[in-house]
Chains A and B, each alone.
Chain A
Amino acid sequence: QQQVKQSPQSLIVQKGGISIINCAYENTAFDYFPWYQQFPGKGPALLIAIRPDVSEKKEGRFTISFNKSAKQFSLHIMDSQPGDSATYFCAASYSGSARQLTFGSGTQLTVLP
């Protein structure tokens, strides 16, 4: 059962553009929503995370927007750079699960120079 749905599967953006990746979840018990960045041959690395008590969180060029009523959250990458080219995963967890993560299926981002 896929509890976190992620789109698009792949995304191509010009350098300097905005990259937007969307996720939707089903389990209303989820209370922590991180985004991970993964480069080939490496493990996922935490990028930014949000809790449902806020609607937006910004760290540098990365912003998470969260819509609790719609059970959706998204990652915006401003001024996208070729070095941002990687696979991005949204994830979710809740306190009753020992914080195990349920991941989306991933978005392969390519930023063209």
Chain B
Amino acid sequence: GAGVSQSPRYKVAKRGQDVALRCDPISGHVSLFWYQQALGQGPEFLTYFQNEAQLDKSGLPSDRFFAERPEGSVSTLKIQRTQQEDSAVYLCASSLQGYGYTFGSGTRLTVV
């Protein structure tokens, strides 16, 4: 597609539930990033893939967060045993070579 597609757009999870967030990057984009954006704040880096390799996961807040990109295109961010503090917008971005990111519209996760 022409842009970065994320699904679902909205997700409500009960505390303790596992969730999976999907990102379809722009075709051919090598780099893929996940960011977390809390309400009224700037996005914060979570993790980075170059093709299928996860080269940096230093921003993942806990071992409940896991990301994968098995074939170098679609990526999934999984959050296990969700907590209220996980409520945020999760943004995916892709780029050809690290500059000029294109962001998706995000998935708004609400943990109740």
List residues of chain A with CB under 8 Å of any chain B CB.
6, 32, 41-46, 49, 89, 91, 97-106
B91 with A101: CB separation less than 8 A:
no
Chain B residues within 8 Å of A6, by CB: 42
Minimum Cβ distance to chain B for residue A26 (Å): 15
Q: In the complex, A92 Cα to B31 Cα: how many Å?
A: 17
Chain B residues within 8 Å of A98, by CB: 31, 48, 50, 55-56, 98
Interface residues on chain B, number (Cβ under 8 Å): 26
Q: In the complex, A104 Cα to B55 Cα: how many Å?
A: 24
**A43-B4, A43-B91 known; A102+B45 contact, CB < 8 A:** yes
Q: In the complex, A91 Cα to B42 Cα: how many Å?
A: 9
**A32-B99, A99-B99 known; A44+B43 contact, CB < 8 A:** yes
- Contacts between the two chains (Cβ within 8 Å), count: 54
Contact of A46 among B33, B101, B106 (CB under 8 A): B101
A105 with B41: CB separation less than 8 A:
yes
**A89-B42, A98-B31, A98-B55 known; A43+B105 contact, CB < 8 A:** yes
Chain B 71-112, CB within 8 Å of chain A: the 1/0 string?
000000000000000000001010100111101111000000
Minimum Cβ distance to chain A for residue B57 (Å): 11
Beta-carbon nearest neighbor of A100 in chain B: B45
B42 with A105: CB separation less than 8 A:
yes
A103 with B44: CB separation less than 8 A:
yes
